Amino acid sequence: MTLHAQTSDPVLDPRTLRDAFGAFPSGVVAVAASVKGQLTGIAASSFTSVSIDPPLVSFSISTTSSTWPLLREADRLGISVLADHHDAVCRQLAGPREERFAGLPFRVTENGAVLLDEAVATYDCSVHEEVVAGDHVIVLLQVHEVGGGDGEHPLVFHRSTFAKLHRDDLDPSRLDGRINGAEVDRDDQRPPAETPAEASDQNKEDAA
């Protein structure tokens, strides 16, 4: 039997690792709630969908966050997907806690979730589970209600700055395949397209 010496992975440079993480673009959300009458919220670029059944989403938050210990006390958390004109809103949510909601149009649900009016999409959630992962906490949220706002396209966060979606040179058709190991959702409720013969027969009936 041949023994192989175990070698440890080289220590990754934190700056290099941050740059590599930043190469992956993401959206940005506001995670917000009214806790004991106080508006509390953060901006997060780690939001992602997790499960359809049960309905779960997630985001991660630094273990050094001073806001999360307050937010996690809320019965419900509001997730608002920021629109592409919300770059200033994101900077505001990342600023001093007492100024994060100044002048922003939002509503507070009966359960205390705070949702921005001009978001692309909104989620009314509660904490399902927290998983400590290194220097962050992965927060799994159960979705109780979803909605939309006045925003059309999402804000993009890439390499520590903001960007917008541009689709001019892309194939506009929906993907027919699998993502994350599952079939891409298609609207199966739509009636099947008519064949030319069927369309012709229908036109004759209408004219009769």
Each domain of the chain, given as residue ranges in start order, spans: 25-167
Note the pLDDT of residue 59: 97
Note the pLDDT of residue 199: 45
Q: Are 58 and 11 in contact (CB under 8 A)?
A: no
Split at pLDDT 50, 70, 90, the class of 194 is very low
Kindly report, residue by residue over 102-123, the tens digit of the pLDDT: 999 999 999 999 999 999 999 9
pTM of the predicted protein model: 0.80
Q: Are 151 and 85 in contact (CB under 8 A)?
A: yes
Higher pLDDT, 43 or 22: 43
In this structure, the dihedral spanned by the alpha carbons of residues 170, 174, 178 and 181, taken in order and rounded to 10 degrees, is 90
Split at pLDDT 50, 70, 90, the class of 204 is very low
177-182-188 Cα angle (round to 5): 65
Query: For residue 184, is pLDDT > 80?
Result: no
Note the pLDDT of residue 203: 46
Note the pLDDT of residue 43: 95
Tokens standing for residue 64: 């050094």
Higher pLDDT, 18 or 62: 62
Which CATH number applies to 25-167: 3.40.50.150, 2.30.110.10, 2.60.40.10, 3.30.1490.20?
Answer: 2.30.110.10
For the segment 144-154, the average pLDDT, to the nearest whole number, is 89
Higher pLDDT, 10 or 192: 10
Task: Give the DSSP letter string of 86-134.
Answer: -HHHHHHHTS-GGGTTTT--EEE-TT-BEEETT-S-EEEEEEEEEEEET
What are the helix (H) ranges across the chain?
Answer: 14-22, 68-71, 87-93, 196-207
Split at pLDDT 50, 70, 90, the class of 206 is very low
Q: Are 35 and 112 in contact (CB under 8 A)?
A: yes
Kindly report, residue by residue over 6-16, the tens digit of the pLDDT: 567 788 898 99
